[in-house]
Amino acid sequence: MRTITWNDETHQVEMIDQRLLPRDFKILTYDQYQGVAEAIRTMVIRGAPAIGAAAAFGMALAAYQSGAKTMAGLQADLKAAGDHLNTARPTAVNLAWAIRRMLDAVQRFDGTPDALRAQVLKLAMDIADEDVEINKRLATYGAALIEDGDHIVHHCNTGALATVDWGTALGVIRMAHEQGKRIHVFVDETRPRLQGARLTAWELEQYGIPYDIITDGSSGYLMRKGLVQKVLFGADRVAANGDVANKIGSYMLALAAYDNAIPAYSVFPVSTVDFELPRGELIPIEEREDAEVLDLTLMGKPVAPVKATARNFAFDVTPNRLISGWVTEKGVIYPPFDVNMQAAMGK
């Protein structure tokens, strides 16, 4: 099933509560865009493509939530909703991309308020459907890079749960598996929210793909021992020069891969590229509450001292020089990324 769907009978958005997996599977429903923004903020739904789709459905909720009788009033309500949704999380560019796409269509629309409501919903559903098809295309390109017998380090969660369906980097692994390639995945646990240990491992079990969960600091040792052939991770925002912002730990993973001459690929849809941002150091990095780091127990007791504080950066930036290639729906793009991406886009 999809991570996020629209219930046409109730005019509600339904999404898997990813905070509870793998122990509990629960669907939450939302009938107001403010609730969707909170779901994004609290990571009920996460992953850049899934966040973009959630924002689009949030805009659809805002359209039906609005009591405006005029086009100007409805457009103003949708602009306010877009501004609110945009504040939910700062790093993933798909959030702003989806809202901008929705608002552009709203401003161009010529018709009645009710027709605009229907159009906003249709566009949100189009964005969701496109995400699935895009993921399958990029997964096909990426699977061509995977060889039979490969052992792959994968960071965070980039599967169906991080998208509307199928997945990006984990979607590549899934596609290679479905093509009959024998692969094994080393799953970075991904502290502090453990998206690898909780979500990626759960997805791999559904697909029947062999895996081992490893601590985030283990990847370099495995590479040095010759036990890894590929490194795959996703992206939450990509600068025009090819620098990639992704889940914290991706930079160190790419460094270890580079030092051991192991190809490291970042997998994402083109909508994740921020062409207006020249380099990665300008990407805003979300810092979350320190409780995510400190709320760790061992044998039922807290690990950290009572007065301990922490820094909890959710993302880091991997310089383009450490990345072997981008895997996108336009194909595999190699350095220099700024030049070759423009060529792939037909510009």
List 165, 188, 236, 316, catalytic entry: 236
Within 10 angstroms of residue 250's Cβ, the number of other Cβ atoms is 28
**Secondary structure element (H or E) that encloses residue 16, with its range:** strand 12-16
Integer CA distances (angstroms), 92 to 13, 33, 185, 201, 230, in order = 21, 18, 25, 23, 25
* Beta bridge mates, 248: none
User: Side chain identity at 242, as an amino acid letter?
Assistant: G
**Secondary structure element (H or E) that encloses residue 111, with its range:** none
For residue 85, the SS3 value is helix
Does residue 22 have a cis bond before it (omega within 30 degrees)? Answer: yes
Known catalytic membership, residue 236:
yes
Say how far apart CA 201 and CA 314 lie, in whole Å: 20
The two three-digit tokens of residue 174, written as one number: 């899934």
Is 156 within 8 Å of 200 (Cβ atoms)?
yes
Buried-exposed string 251-261: b where 16+ CB fall within 10 A, e elsewhere: bbbbebbbebe
Give the relative orientation of helices 71-86 and 33-41 as an angle to the nearest 10 degrees. Answer: 10
Main-chain dihedrals φ then ψ at residue 196, nearest 5 degrees = -70, -55
DSSP for 169-231?
Answer: HHHHHHHHHHTT---EEEEE--TTTTHIIIIIHHHHHHHT--EEEE-GGGHHHHHHTT--SEE
Q: Provide the 8-state DSSP code for 335.
A: S
Say how far apart CA 343 and CA 347 lie, in whole Å: 6
Which residues form the catalytic set? 236
